[in-house]
Amino acid sequence: MAETKPRIRLDKNDVKRGDTIEVKTLVSHVMETGLRHDADGKLIPRMIINKFTCELNGKLVFECDPESAVSANPYFQFKFKPEESGTLKFTWIDDEGTRTEATETIKVS
Amino acid sequence: MPHGPNRRQALAAAAGAGACAAGLGVAAGPALAVNDYAEQIIKFTGGTKPIGARVKLDLPELAENGNTVSMAVKVDGPMTAASHLEEILVLAPNNPNARVVRFRFSPTSVPEAATRIRLAESQNVIAVAKMSDGTCFFTAREIKVTIGGCGG
């Protein structure tokens, strides 16, 4: 699905309890809408990322269900106030079931 | 839609059956047919009527390229243990498909999210928010699109 690794940017990895972390993510994906036709006039089937999740230590922080109206190379930005240190796991799943994963470590004191 | 003689048959059958515009699909003229965005709202809220408040939808007034339009959405007002943001559904009433994206939040979320979307033509994009206590809010924001992007 993605030829390159997903890009994740946290504005900070090390926070005090009550602080906000802003997350920006970018992943390569054609997000084929299922509405285009190829040169022979055949419909190109839909092929998009249909699920993006961010979990902290296994608990959901933020989730996104894109439809084909989300642009190619989907960009998601969100913010949260973590209550514990640990591993942020990011997962993208597409219509073929291909999973792309990435992690970031954060510290909350 | 099938091409060649099958397409003519399909159109004839649709016309013959009186299926009219619905059967012919959405790409007929300069204005796409309105999709099922109203039903999508009802499905999302579970029948609760959304209140026109608190939701802010950030879109440019004019998008040169409908293939990638920056969009941000947030819900103003206090988030409490009893009533915090759970989901936001964004709808494009004049896209081929109404649903654009659904965001799901957690109690530690700041109630906002952003992405880039495809808009087929100028329209009023709608964002509906659902709170943990079942209350729903919405807003609509008009955006002019110069060159449409083929949104799903």
Task: Tell me the pLDDT of chain A (109 aa) as tens digits.
Answer: 555 789 999 999 999 999 999 999 999 999 999 999 999 999 999 999 999 999 999 999 999 999 999 999 999 999 999 999 999 999 999 999 999 999 999 999 9
CATH 2.60.40.2470 residue window(s) in chain B: 32-147
Would you state the structure tokens that stand for residue A11, as one six-digit string? 């504005």
DSSP letters along B85-112, please? EEEEEEE-TTSSSSEEEEEEE-TTEEEE
Q: Which of A35, A65, A82 sits opposite B108 (nearest CB)?
A: A82
CB < 8 Å from A in window 24-63 of B: none
Contact list in B for residue A46 (CB cut-off 8 A) is: 152
Mean pLDDT over B100-105 rounds to 98
Q: Which of A48, A62, A71 sits opposite B105 (nearest CB)?
A: A62
Query: In the prediction, which pLDDT does B150 show?
Result: 59
Confidence of residue B92 (pLDDT cuts 50, 70, 90): very high
Query: In the prediction, which pLDDT does B13 show?
Result: 39
Instruction: Check if CATH label 3.20.20.70 holds for domain A7-108.
Output: no
Mean pLDDT over B62-78 rounds to 96
CA dist list (Å): B6 to A44, A76, B11, B12, B43:
19, 42, 9, 10, 35
Chains A and B form CB pairs within 8 A to the count of 105
- Contact between A14 and A21 (Cβ < 8 Å): no
Helix (H, G, I), strand (E, B) or coil at B44: helix
On the question of pLDDT at B27 being above 90, the answer is no
Would you state the structure tokens that stand for residue A99, as one six-digit string? 């999973």
Domain residue ranges of chain A, discontinuous segments joined by +: 7-108
Confidence of residue B97 (pLDDT cuts 50, 70, 90): very high
Mean pLDDT over B103-121 rounds to 97
On the question of pLDDT at B60 being above 90, the answer is yes
Residue owning tokens 């026109």: B52
On the question of pLDDT at B1 being above 70, the answer is no
Contact list in B for residue A78 (CB cut-off 8 A) is: 103, 109-110, 112-114
Query: In the prediction, which pLDDT does B38 show?
Result: 94
Query: In the prediction, which pLDDT does B148 show?
Result: 77
On the question of pLDDT at B16 being above 60, the answer is no
- At B6, which helix (H) or strand (E)? helix B5-16
Q: Is B113's CB within 8 Å of A62's CB?
A: yes
* Sequence-ordered strand ranges (E) for chain B: 55-58, 62-65, 69-75, 85-91, 99-105, 109-117, 123-131, 136-147
Q: Which residue has the higher pLDDT, A26 or B7?
A: A26
Q: Which fold has domain B32-147?
A: Immunoglobulin-like (2.60.40)
Q: Which of A34, A36, A67 sits opposite B99 (nearest CB)?
A: A67
On the question of pLDDT at B30 being above 80, the answer is no
- Could you give the percent of chain B with pLDDT greater than 70? 76
